[in-house]
Amino acid sequence: MMEADLGNDLPAVELSDLMEICQGGPYVGNLAIDGIGFGPRKFLDKFIETEDSVFVSEFKRGFFKSGFRLLRVNRSDMSEHILIKSGEYIEPKSLSNGKLFYRENTFSDSERSLELDLL
């Protein structure tokens, strides 16, 4: 189980039951924030947490195509806001100056960004 704790009174973000989505592929698992689970859905093992939000990618398995969508989870009420509806791979990397930086490829360090104040 992976757990992040910011060292203060923020609830912990936990990922459990990690598994590879394909051989050599990224790991996904069950997400819980402050002990509140998000059902049988699977989430990428990389996330960013702040005082009021958790940025995480949900894995969506489809019949013909699978991929990820990027979510912002509000810590106060666990509401979810979709930031990116669909992509082959979306890994949140960092937050800086009101922007969320993310990768769209597991084999490249190239990053894209979203303006968070516009969302």
User: What confidence tens digit (pLDDT) does each residue in 21-49 have?
Assistant: 988 889 999 999 988 999 899 999 999 99
pLDDT value of position 77: 94
37 membership: H or E segment, kind and range: strand 36-37
Domain that holds residue 17: 2-118
User: What confidence tens digit (pLDDT) does each residue in 77-91 have?
Assistant: 999 999 999 999 999
**Number of domains present in the structure of the chain:** 1
8 Å CB contact between 103 and 89:
yes
pLDDT value of position 71: 97
Rounded Cα distance, 86 and 58, in Å: 10
Rounded Cα distance, 22 and 29, in Å: 13
Q: Which of 34, 74, 35, 30 is nearest to 51 (CA)?
A: 74
8 Å CB contact between 96 and 111:
no
User: What confidence tens digit (pLDDT) does each residue in 94-118 have?
Assistant: 999 999 999 998 888 899 999 987 5
Q: Is the dihedral of CA 19, 88, 104, 12 positive or negative?
A: negative
8 Å CB contact between 85 and 77:
no
